[in-house]
């Protein structure tokens, strides 16, 4: 994996901790909206980790096998990825 391992692992560990908390919330029969909000926060962390991985893949793995025009297109995609909500 070419992505910043520390950043990816940090987000995944946070998501793991949030999931454990969500399971406890469900077991404790907590308010549905509170559970849903925590699920959305966890999903955002996972999406962000995925964005980091995909961006690194494009910038490094894919860029190694394309010409200069392809590299410009990669940068366009990376720019758009940066604008997608997490």
Domains of the chain: which residue ranges? 5-83
Dihedral of alpha carbons 13, 1, 56, 81, sign: negative
Q: What is the CATH number of domain 5-83?
A: 1.20.58.1000
Q: Quick: pLDDT tens for 15-74.
A: 999 999 999 999 999 999 999 999 999 999 999 999 999 999 998 888 888 888 888 999
Residue 64: its pLDDT value, please? 86
Report the C-alpha gap between 76 and 43 in whole angstroms.
25
């Amino acid at each position: 994996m070419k992505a910043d391992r520390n950043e990816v692992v940090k987000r995944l560990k946070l998501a793991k901790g949030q999931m454990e908390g969500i399971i406890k919330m469900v077991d404790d029969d907590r308010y549905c909206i509170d559970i849903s909000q925590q699920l959305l926060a966890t999903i955002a962390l996972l999406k962000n980790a995925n964005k980091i991985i995909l961006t690194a893949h494009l910038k490094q793995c894919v860029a190694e096998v394309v010409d200069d025009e392809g590299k410009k297109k990669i940068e366009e995609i990376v720019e758009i990825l940066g604008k997608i909500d997490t």
